[in-house]
Structure 1
């Protein structure tokens, strides 16, 4: 899509008085200057959508630049995170703690304006975006969280009258909507009737390889309409720029109850840069000095890079004043709400703080030694106890609530009342077979504040979740993945469903704790620790019964919280065997057999390598003495990643090939997960260490 120089020359317009043209011009030039200065970046979208972002930040999004964490604010998500300079310029021009020097430092080492928006790094950035589709799906989670919070704490308020009526605004690109994640997230938002969600889709017909006709022929508007969205179109303005008055009218039109909103906005990438407009090159490369000069000429600006007119700087104050006024008004309404029901207000304050009640510990289930209980069953029981004491616990599974044991009994279904199947107070989320959208939306729910959200699926399907898991780890969000069916013990479903490499690959994600408890009490202790630690973690569970350890619960809990501990200890051990999950039972039996031969074996349960690595050196030495080099590691998964624990004299009893379809016991034996193999490994490592 291109335009003529004549049309480009009239780009500086009034847009019906909706925004200050000089502010938009400044935003466009700051985007071009910052990308040129960094010699990298994505200027085209930021230049073209400067009027759109200015309209949103000054007229539609409820926010307070002086308090980016204000509880009553709306959320803005730049799903096309590559256009980060678009967001940074708006934060600067709105009075956030983002300076002109920060814009000059765009994409440089240590800058507060990195190449893609990072939550917790730049004031006003609500979520980390960049991997396309993630922002949109995360925004769906934010909208879910706000709807659930309103239903839980102010359900009787009239539409638009609640202090919890907040909106989520998204700018999305062609690439966002091409990602398969957008199909999952769009269908989920439509089914859940998230009418507090507005997505503006920048339909500019250009991506890196050229015209979108190279890759797409679908009617995006029809797709979203079919998923239950209220869809409108805003054609390109007659002058070649975005039609801002039409967009404003679309955004101000009454929200259709029970329908998220998609506005398909036609634009021209890089408009009004005369040589770059409508070109793929402007997507991901600097305009360059010559084209940026031409842009200045078109906009009628004769000023050096990063120049900000005094009138534009003065225009920041009304934005800050608007935010302050909205904040004061909201505070007054919230105080009135709290006065109506102080007990409800106290409960909400506790929810926002994420407090774990002292009574929870005594309410958690305990299991008698020797009983055979699957860790997934123990997890399900723990969820019931936690749900009774922690109202912020909320979640579900990707159509696997029964096998994952994730259903909150009596919690109801999170669905619009019009479905007749639940209501927005429901604590069970029916994600459908949408593992990726589930994980991404969980991030949004966590970012909304207060919630302790969990999502379940089989461990093997964590592959579908990885991009969102990685972002959760980047942001340090308190989300919990419940991954059941954790090994070839899954049995007859066969190698497609039997995880092998998954534990190693998940442990490779920085900031993610992988927790694989060995028995029912370790599982309960793991849930207790997860509530306190407030970090992203995966709870890895088995479906087969395993014996409950003959170890006091207090010892188990302390050991789980430290990631590893001695389940069976001996003075001056000849060898150490380390195991996770159900394989601890193999390690215990093997140690007994070696004891009969006079070999002293310490048995260590290591439910979380990450938690153990975080302990002080003294504790790690107590559990795994460096002097004991005869070591065996037992885990029914890939051996990759265990060699540092095993050491040069050690042996890893794992599975380095795919599984097979057979009853669970037979599959385990066929892949070498036997007591005999562990015994042989112990004998071999002792011989090697003493040679």
Structure 2
């Protein structure tokens, strides 16, 4: 009875966050989709309310739960569902389960296919459903499947949707931090954008810092340029900085909406005045000019080829990030510097997730 009460009231079990995996620099490079699977399983072991599945992509999404069986006629106690290729139906079913109470649903597919289920994502946000949308294969790093499977605009579609947290973690600690924040929400769904390719465990990442949305990864006190990046591009920026003559600050931004909710003083500390800021993300640039003066971003759809070849071709290899940043700093960046180098994030008041629409009286 005590356990059922906890679940119905939406409370989390004691010590749950301690079960999230922790990583250190030098640990094996792993795709964030695989690290997501580890975090999900760690929580599912102690949270029977975690119930969900994938749209026919379980091996790729890494969402299989070792602690349970498939939900079938013969095993109605199973907590894992094989939804088939029906993304919108999957999202709608999971929303309904969460609305009933006592369940925290998760659903999974490729990020580019989130558009098939976006009405369910939007309704989760509008209705205040705590729903984990696990979206893998998050960029041109997908590789040979080509532009039909390589997200470009989807990250920004989710970011600009009210009351949705869009996480694009850079490594294992940020994956665990993203799950921690997502599970702490009461009326907010979360979307995880996760890599297919392996990514290194970085120096300076933090489970706790994810809650601030963005934070300084290195300790460069007087930077001459700032890279602000997400996901797989964070490690690319770390490597690019070593090839540049300028003093470079690296800012990881796993969740822009959480950063917007921080006090303006903190945002100015992370993104100080009078320093050129370059946003680096293998997605469309929409939204980044709130935080940066220029972007290294996707201007077209992707292409079919090895993931590493696509990353280099579209300008996201460390050498090409460094070259593009240097060219901008020595050219247009000088004009920006003369004008004072301010961005909207340095001035706007902290935003709030206003849930007034959930409380209308009819």
Above 0.5 in TM-score? Answer: yes
Cα displacement string for residues 204-239 of structure 1 (whole angstroms, at most 9, x for unaligned residues): xxxxxxxxxxxxxxxxxxxxxxxxxxxxxxxxxxxx
Aligned-partner Cα distance in 1 for 2:29–2:169:
14
In structure 2, which of residues 270, 286, 291 is the aligned counterpart of residue 623 of structure 1?
270
Asked if structure 2 preserves the Cα contact closer than 8 Å seen for 1:563 and 1:612, the reply is: yes
Asked if structure 1 preserves the Cα contact closer than 8 Å seen for 2:41 and 2:67, the reply is: no
Asked if structure 2 preserves the Cα contact closer than 8 Å seen for 1:575 and 1:631, the reply is: yes
* Residue 634 in structure 1 maps to residue 287 in structure 2: no
What's 1:656 paired with?
A: 299
What's 2:257 paired with?
A: 610
* Residue 347 in structure 1 maps to residue 6 in structure 2: no
Cα displacement string for residues 478-500 of structure 1 (whole angstroms, at most 9, x for unaligned residues): 01100000011110111111111
Asked if structure 2 preserves the Cα contact closer than 8 Å seen for 1:489 and 1:664, the reply is: yes
346-355 or 455-464, which deviates more: 346-355
User: What's the offset of the Cα at 1:415?
Assistant: 1.7
Segments of structure 1 that go 5 or more residues without pairing to the other structure are: 1-344, 418-422
Query: Which of the two has greater helix per residue?
Result: 1
Task: Spell out the pairing of 1:405-444 with structure 2 (5 A cutoff).
Answer: 405-417=62-74, 423-444=75-96
What's 2:112 paired with?
A: 460
User: What's the offset of the Cα at 1:627?
Assistant: 2.9
Task: Spell out the pairing of 1:29-428 with structure 2 (5 A cutoff).
Answer: 345-370=1-26, 371-417=28-74, 423-428=75-80
What's 2:189 paired with?
A: 536
Task: Spell out the pairing of 1:471-490 with structure 2 (5 A cutoff).
Answer: 471-490=123-142
User: What's the offset of the Cα at 1:626?
Assistant: 2.8
In structure 2, which of residues 198, 207, 214 is the aligned counterpart of residue 557 of structure 1?
207
Aligned-partner Cα distance in 1 for 2:10–2:328:
47
What's 1:164 paired with?
A: none
**SS of the residue aligned with 1:593?**
coil
**SS of the residue aligned with 1:576?**
strand
Asked if structure 2 preserves the Cα contact closer than 8 Å seen for 1:642 and 1:652, the reply is: yes
Asked if structure 2 preserves the Cα contact closer than 8 Å seen for 1:631 and 1:682, the reply is: no
Aligned-partner Cα distance in 1 for 2:221–2:67:
50
Asked if structure 2 preserves the Cα contact closer than 8 Å seen for 1:522 and 1:557, the reply is: yes
User: What's the offset of the Cα at 1:686?
Assistant: 3.4
User: What's the offset of the Cα at 1:685?
Assistant: 4.3
Aligned-partner Cα distance in 1 for 2:255–2:113:
20
503-512 or 458-467, which deviates more: 503-512
Asked if structure 1 preserves the Cα contact closer than 8 Å seen for 2:143 and 2:304, the reply is: yes
What's 1:197 paired with?
A: none
Asked if structure 2 preserves the Cα contact closer than 8 Å seen for 1:500 and 1:658, the reply is: yes
**SS of the residue aligned with 1:654?**
strand
Aligned-partner Cα distance in 2 for 1:387–1:640:
35
Asked if structure 2 preserves the Cα contact closer than 8 Å seen for 1:653 and 1:677, the reply is: no
Asked if structure 1 preserves the Cα contact closer than 8 Å seen for 2:166 and 2:193, the reply is: yes
Number of aligned residue pairs: give it.
332
* Residue 546 in structure 1 maps to residue 202 in structure 2: no
Asked if structure 1 preserves the Cα contact closer than 8 Å seen for 2:142 and 2:150, the reply is: yes
Aligned-partner Cα distance in 2 for 1:626–1:558:
25
Cα displacement string for residues 341-398 of structure 1 (whole angstroms, at most 9, x for unaligned residues): xxxx111111112222232222221223122011011100011110111111111100
Aligned-partner Cα distance in 1 for 2:251–2:301:
27
User: What's the offset of the Cα at 1:684?
Assistant: 3.8
**SS of the residue aligned with 1:389?**
coil
Aligned-partner Cα distance in 2 for 1:620–1:677:
28
Aligned-partner Cα distance in 1 for 2:219–2:179:
25
Cα displacement string for residues 565-614 of structure 1 (whole angstroms, at most 9, x for unaligned residues): 000131221111001001101111122222xx2x2211000011111111
Asked if structure 2 preserves the Cα contact closer than 8 Å seen for 1:487 and 1:637, the reply is: yes
Asked if structure 2 preserves the Cα contact closer than 8 Å seen for 1:486 and 1:498, the reply is: yes
Cα displacement string for residues 502-551 of structure 1 (whole angstroms, at most 9, x for unaligned residues): 11112121111110000111101111111012311101100111000122
User: What's the offset of the Cα at 1:559?
Assistant: 1.5
Asked if structure 1 preserves the Cα contact closer than 8 Å seen for 2:312 and 2:320, the reply is: no
| Over 6 Å off, 4+ runs | none
Give the aligned CA root-mean-square deviation in angstroms: 1.4
User: What's the offset of the Cα at 1:615?
Assistant: 1.0
User: What's the offset of the Cα at 1:651?
Assistant: 2.2
